[in-house]
Amino acid sequence: MTIEAFAPAKINLTLHVTGQRHDGYHLLDSLVVFANVGDRIWIEPADEMSLEITGPFAQGVPADARNLVWKAAVLAGHTAHIRLEKNLPHGAGIGGGSSDAGALLAALGCADTGVSLGADVPVCRLGQAAQMSGIGDMVEPFLGMPSLFAVLVNSGVHVPTPQVFKTLKNKDNPAMTGEFSTHDTAAALIDWVSDQRNDLEAAAIACAPEIAGVLEVLRGQPNQKLVRMSGSGATCFALFETAADAQTAAAAIRLQNPDWWVVDCALS
């Protein structure tokens, strides 16, 4: 029987780097949400492992044991033919392979959180708004998340995560302040998020100055409430209170920048 799974784009509304362990792992404090756009996975039991990559961002994605979705299947003890439809740009700070791996683990009912595969895998396995902390191993669901709408933009620049962390000057920053889970309206949550940070944004811009241009374009959109980079980059987002405002902004950005990846979406 074929199992189908959806691997949504992961958006870090906040990303605080609060320390670094002696083993090199970074400590994080992040409010993570998920978009209604993402990759799709089909898992069919087979005698041997195999992976087929399709979709607009299939090029350059390994179709062998290097792929996180392959590793997740092995972790789950499942031998299968997997078809992965890549609709999200990779190396873009929005989950990518981590979301694929997390979705597969959830679809197969694997009890392992997948933290051994990467810091983002446990929260992606949950697949809903949550606070992610520690080295990604601590995940607390955000129940009652208000409706938010966003425009996601990636100019095509690739920023390796290790390079961004290496460029980060201060790795001992304050954790998130206040209690985000008490904000039950979009306006209140956005106000709270505005007081938080993405500690990797400046480091990512130092590695890829193009990110600053994307942020500037998003800041110029009518009715945007907050603009920030997601994860370690290079995808950036603008938050809106209505779907119509997000759709209008996305259409304008696509018209001006036809080579960019631009989507409007709902976040949950």
pLDDT digits (tens, 9 = 90+) for 201-237: 999 999 999 999 999 999 999 999 999 999 999 999 9
Q: Is the pLDDT of residue 36 over 90?
A: yes
Give me 259's structure tokens: 């080579």
Give me 146's structure tokens: 């208000």
Same domain, yes or no: 165 and 93: no
Distance CA(215)–CA(198), nearest Å, equals: 13
CATH number of the structural domain spanning residue 208: 3.30.70.890
Backbone torsion region of residue 136, taken as left when φ is above 0, otherwise alpha when ψ lies between -120 and 50, otherwise beta: left
Global confidence as pTM: 0.96
Same domain, yes or no: 94 and 9: yes
Same domain, yes or no: 197 and 254: yes
Output the pLDDT for position 219.
98
pLDDT digits (tens, 9 = 90+) for 64-117: 999 999 999 999 999 999 999 999 998 899 999 999 999 999 999 999 999 999
Q: In whole angstroms, what separates CA 170 from the centre of its chain? A: 23
Catalytic residue numbers read: 10, 120
The residue range of the domain holding 197 is 148-267
Output the pLDDT for position 179.
87
Same domain, yes or no: 154 and 113: no
Domain count, the chain: 2
